[in-house]
């Protein structure tokens, strides 16, 4: 005659119950360790590329680092701008434009980790957005007459 089990549950049910209990205890901690807010988002704002290797996106919430020369570089393609939608701020390709990026972020560091897609927008889209008022990057060439639109 088989010996009676010491627990009220058959052996086949003990393991799933233990796993469920572990997930319920550890799950909230793992969620909070990822940082506040969503890690994947569509972010629209000013894309600024002032010097080679340095780029950021300023949206209504923060200035997100995309690349830092000699340091962090997000994976993925940057947006491609037409001359009409790019303001040159220096000799070469340095400048800024308006863009929307679908990204993965590290919210605690305000860094974009990966760019899944990027789309340039007309400059007027950012200039007319009330959430971006006063956030357009500075243009040192504005007085020289050698700027973009």
Least confident of 17-26, 80-89, 112-121, 136-145: 17-26
pTM: 0.71
> Measured between alpha carbons, how far is 97 from 148 in angstroms, rounded to an integer?
10
Residue 107 in contact with residue 65, Cβ under 8 Å?
no
Q: Domains for the chain: give ranges and CATH numbers.
A: 40-132 (2.40.50)
- pLDDT at residue 143 tops 70: no
CA–CA distances in Å: residue 57 to residues 46, 60, 94: 5, 10, 14
In this prediction, residue 92 has a pLDDT band, given cuts at 50, 70 and 90, of confident
pLDDT of residue 37: 46
Q: How is residue 56 written in tokens?
A: 């950021």
> Measured between alpha carbons, how far is 100 from 121 in angstroms, rounded to an integer?
7
Q: Where are the alpha helices (DSSP H) in the chain?
A: 11-33, 123-127
In this prediction, residue 33 has a pLDDT band, given cuts at 50, 70 and 90, of very low
In this prediction, residue 120 has a pLDDT band, given cuts at 50, 70 and 90, of very high
Strand duo 40-51 + 111-121: pairing: unpaired
Average pLDDT of every residue of the chain: 81
| Ramachandran class of 48: left when φ > 0, alpha when ψ lies in -120 to 50, beta otherwise | beta
- For residue 39, the 8-state DSSP code is S
| 45-72 pLDDT tens trace | 999 999 999 999 999 999 999 999 999 9
């Amino acid at each position: 005659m088989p010996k009676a089990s010491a627990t009220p549950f058959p052996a086949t049910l003990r393991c799933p119950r233990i796993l469920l209990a572990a997930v319920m205890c550890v799950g909230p901690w793992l969620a909070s360790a990822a940082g506040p807010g969503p890690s994947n988002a569509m972010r629209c704002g000013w894309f600024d590329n002032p010097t080679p290797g340095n780029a950021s996106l300023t949206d209504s919430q923060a200035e997100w680092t995309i690349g830092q020369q000699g340091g962090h570089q997000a994976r993925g393609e940057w947006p491609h701008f037409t001359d009409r939608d790019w303001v040159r701020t220096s000799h070469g390709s340095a400048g800024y434009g308006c863009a929307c990026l679908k990204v993965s972020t590290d919210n605690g560091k305000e860094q974009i980790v990966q760019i899944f897609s990027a789309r340039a927008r007309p400059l007027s889209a950012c200039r007319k957005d009330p959430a971006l008022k006063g956030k357009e990057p500075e243009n040192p060439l504005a007085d020289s007459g050698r700027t973009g639109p």
